[in-house]
Structure 1
Amino acid sequence: MGDISVGACSWTDPELVAGGWYPAGRRDAEGRLRHYATRFPVVEVDSTYYGLPSARNSRLWTERTPPDFRFDVKAFSLLTGQPTRTAALPADLRPAGGSSWVRADDELRKEVWERFSGALAPLREAGRLGTLLFQFPASLAPGARGEAVVEECAERAADWPLAVELRHPGWWGEERRTATAALLARHAIATVAVDTAQGLPTSVPPVACVTSPDLAVVRFHGRSPAWGSSGPGAKEAKYRHTYTEAELAEWLPRLRDMADQAASVHVLFNNCCADASVRAAETMQGMLAGDAAFTLRGPRGVPR
């Protein structure tokens, strides 16, 4: 059976930093990461979705965490077809015309990938990269175009560990599920299963599908009824949820099945309001540690 690593989707979220989870004296950039790494064995880097990473940060992340700590790095928005703020690009890549938003052509996407992947080289070379997470927008529907986008992603990032979250619910509908799994398995791309509110037009079903022998990923987004909403304050409303033990327990059989099929399973909490994500991660760690069926990585599991 594969091992399970539990963590959060950010260690730098402003609400988390402002709360009381980080002890006094550990609230600077270095102290936060070092403290986080004493509690969990994996973290998702979400800042790389909003701006390109730097090789310097990759080296610092490696230096500030134990040798078996892993970083799942979220792909820059432009690489997933999302509209991207022009200001998020390096100055020399910003198109002329003064537009606030940019959509990439093939040439720009290729250059951005070279810089993105190059900045992560120190992390990868140190063996500390868990996976690259490509979160595709809900506008990417299943079909020929959607499949082509996923295929292009796999070709661009060949030889990199990849995980894909498909946010259009149609990808995982009963009539499409097998074809979606086959598409990802063809490239050994790890499927990202999600937990989120059900019964909404944007709800992705909680399908725990394993398409890579190396890794499976689950992201817990919370179960707010505001999931899928937009407008002022929507982001905070979408992710505002405190998981109960009963809600987390629903996933134990699914996690057991995933661990039976993949060498590693990463369980990441994205309900990033105040300290809800790390508290839920701590609860999940405790539940897994108390179940002999699981091999848990990190401070409460396998010795590091």
Structure 2
Amino acid sequence: MPEEVVEEAWNRFFASLAPLREAGKLGYLHFGLPPWTEPKPRSFRYLERLAERTQGYLVAVEFRNPRWYTAWGFVKRELMRLGLAHVSVDAPPHPEAPPRVLEPTREVAVLRCHGRNAETWKGPHQKPYERFNWRYSEEELLDLAEATRTLAAQAERVFVIFNNNYGTQGVEAALGLKRLLGLGKPPWAEGPFS
């Protein structure tokens, strides 16, 4: 792509974030590297450019390719050097899914929960949502609560994001996790009708 097009895309991206940032509602920027992105020199150059481009923002990087974790010590040091946060992933037990590594690289930790649907992680599925069609059980939510506590012991803040986005499954899981962590009712549930 021509450099001026790339520059304009970044400018528009940052402009769209301005209202959230000014209101103090912007937690972090999430950059997910797709499964075909491997830990090669080109990928590390991308991370360096990303860190330069997003200075002043909290940026978290999610690795979907499990090969990033075969040299985790090096990858972790690079993320720390660049000031990028690591996204811990909850995914199905599948050879092509990333492992759940609960090690923050900044003062903020991120846990992204994709569900545990091993049958559709790599396909076959006809619709994109089928990949993340998963209703977390109470036992699995207890496991996620423990993972959240582990991250909270190492970081000042923890973001937990649910990407099991079929119907209301993500919302149900988030509310269940909130209950297990003792965080109370959501703000919209407070009031005279609760």
* TM-score after normalising by structure 2: 0.89
**How many Å apart are 1:278 and its aligned residue?**
0.7
Q: What do residues 95-116 of structure 1 show as CA deviations (whole Å, max 9, x unaligned)?
A: xxxxxxxxx4543222211111
Matches within 5 A, 1:167-246: 167-173=64-70, 176-200=71-95, 202-213=96-107, 215-224=108-117, 225-229=119-123, 232-233=126-127, 235-246=128-139
Unaligned residue ranges in structure 1 (runs of 5+): 1-103, 290-295
1:123-170 superposed Cα distances (whole Å, 9 cap, x missing partner): 111111001111111121002111111111111111111111111111
For residues 106-185 of structure 1, the aligned pairs below 5 Å read 106-173=3-70, 176-185=71-80
Q: Secondary structure at the match of 1:130?
A: coil
Q: How far is the alpha carbon of 1:187 from its aligned partner?
A: 2.2
CA shift, 1:188, in A, is: 2.2
Matches of 1:183 and 1:283 in 2, distance apart? Answer: 35
Determine if the alignment matches structure 1 residue 299 to structure 2 residue 186. yes
Residues 36-93 of structure 1: CA distance to partner in whole angstroms, max 9, x if unpaired? xxxxxxxxxxxxxxxxxxxxxxxxxxxxxxxxxxxxxxxxxxxxxxxxxxxxxxxxxx
Opposite residue 19 of structure 2, the aligned amino acid is P
Query: Higher helix share goes to which structure?
Result: 2
- What amino acid is the match of 1:241? W
Counterparts of 2:29 and 2:91 in 1: how far apart (Å)? 21
Q: What SS does the aligned partner of 2:31 have?
A: strand
Q: Secondary structure at the match of 2:12?
A: helix
2:178 to 285, 296, 304: 285
CA RMSD of aligned residues (A): 2.0
Q: Give, in angstroms, the shift of residue 236 of structure 1.
A: 2.1
Secondary structure of 1:261's aligned partner: coil
Whether 2:153 is the aligned partner of 1:260: answer yes
Distance of 1:109 and 1:168 partners within structure 2: 25
Structure 2: 5+ residue runs without aligned partners?
A: none
Relative to structure 1, is the Cα distance of residues 181 and 287 closer, same or farther in structure 2, using a 3 angstrom cutoff?
A: same
Hey, what's the Cα distance between the residues in 1 that align with 2:30 and 2:143?
A: 24
Counterpart CA distance in 2 for 1:183 and 1:230 is 35
| Counterpart secondary structure, 2:114 | strand
Q: Distance in 1 between matches of 2:32 and 2:55?
A: 17
Structure 1 residue ranges, 4+ long, deviating more than 6 angstroms after superposition: none
Measured in 2, the distance between the counterparts of 1:298 and 1:126 equals 23
1:253 to partner: Cα distance: 3.2
SS of equivalent to 1:123 = helix
Alignment-mate amino acid for residue 87 of structure 2? V
Q: Percent identity?
A: 35
Aligned equivalents of 2:136, 2:178: Cα separation in 1: 13
State the distance in 1 between where 2:163 and 2:106 align.
22
Count of residues paired in the alignment? 187
Give 1:237 deviation, angstroms: 1.6
2-structure distance, mates of 1:257, 1:106: 42
What TM-score do you get using the length of structure 1 for normalisation? 0.58
Distance (Å, rounded) in 2 between the aligned partners of 1:265 and 1:271: 19
Aligned ranges 1:22-101 → 2 under 5 Å: none
Q: Secondary structure at the match of 2:21?
A: helix
Against the structure 1 CA distance between its residues 105 and 180, is the aligned structure 2 distance closer, same or farther, given a 3 Å change threshold? farther
How far 1:297 sits from its partner (Å)? Answer: 8.0
